[in-house]
Amino acid sequence: MKLFVGLGNPGPKYAFNRHNIGFMALDRIAEDQGFGPWKSKFQAQITEGRLGTDKVILLKPQTFMNLSGQSVGEAMRFYKLAPSDVTVFHDELDLAPGKARAKTGGGHAGHNGLRSIHQHIGADYDRIRLGIGHPGDKSRVSGYVLSDFAKADQMWLDDLLRGICDGAALLADGDAGKFMNAVALRVNPPKPPSPKPAPKAQTKTAPIEPEPDTRSALQKLADRFR
């Protein structure tokens, strides 16, 4: 069994915030992969389903971001899971919008949701870092992550979420490399080969007609004996 955790803040006020891209990823997986209805448990919204041959629990903590680890810890203890069974989807300021990276272990880099999870289960879990870009100034970070995605972001955001859904079964099976390939095929699909130019049609040169002979019969006879 695997536990996929999406990070975000509960309630319609935050639903389309950049900080809630983890929730969005799980919502897309649940919808497209035929998971059951969401229900309240472990201070979270959860749903169960299968990705390939693996049973997967999707969990969206409802504790607000800073206390996400409480919910994750409760679910892990209930299902008797290890940190290696957990994958957390979260927003990443240090990645360009639309980029995704898989990572195992490491620090929380100041992300309050990850900080809380570290406190409750340690650092040895998997993460899918979902790039939202950086506002350019540290003082603007809080307002940036708690604001909605712009209309101009909708195309890459949809491609990213579709890619996550495409590769979800591979991720549940432990193949992060193939999962990343599936995401890349959606976000940066290969360009179709350029059509070869049509061969130029060869134009036939019209035969040159000889100029009419205007010599007199006497001149023609004389020219033969020159």
Q: Is the pLDDT score of 214 beyond 80?
A: no
What is the arrangement of strands in the sheet containing 86-92, beginning at the earlier edge strand? 39-41, 44-51, 54-61, 2-6, 86-92, 126-131, 100-104
Which position has the higher pLDDT, 138 or 203?
Answer: 138
Specify if 43 maps to a domain.
yes
**19 belongs to the catalytic site:** yes
The DSSP symbol for 67 reads G
pLDDT of the residue at 118: 96
Specify if 76 maps to a domain.
yes
Q: DSSP letter string over 127-141? A: EEEEE----SSGGGH
pLDDT of the residue at 135: 93
Average pLDDT, integer, range 81-103: 95
Q: Is 45 helix (H, G, I), strand (E, B) or coil?
A: strand
Cβ(172)–Cβ(179) under 8 Å?
A: no
Which residues does residue 77 pair with via DSSP β-bridges, in sequence order? none
Specify if 160 maps to a domain.
yes
Band of pLDDT at residue 211, cut at 50, 70 and 90: low
Q: Which domain holds residue 70?
A: 2-187
Beta strands in the chain (DSSP E): 2-6, 39-41, 44-51, 54-61, 86-92, 100-104, 126-131
Specify if 22 maps to a domain.
yes
Instruction: Identify the burial level of 16 via C-beta atoms within 10 angstroms of its C-beta, where 0-12 means exposed, 13-18 middle and 19 or more buried.
Output: middle
Q: Which of 19, 108, 111, 118 is catalytic?
A: 19
Q: In the chain, how many domains are there? A: 1
Domain with 73 in it: what CATH number?
3.40.50.1470
Distance CA 105, CA 33 (A): 27
Closest-CA residue to 1 (of 72, 77, 80)? 80
Specify if 201 maps to a domain.
no
Specify if 217 maps to a domain.
no
Specify if 102 maps to a domain.
yes
- Within 10 angstroms of residue 132's Cβ, the number of other Cβ atoms is 25
Q: Report pTM.
A: 0.83
Q: For 96-107, write each residue's pLDDT tens digit.
A: 999 999 999 999
Number of H helices, E strands in the chain: 7, 7
Lowest mean pLDDT, pick from 1-15, 50-64, 81-95, 205-219: 205-219
Closest-CA residue to 57 (of 73, 79, 77)? 79
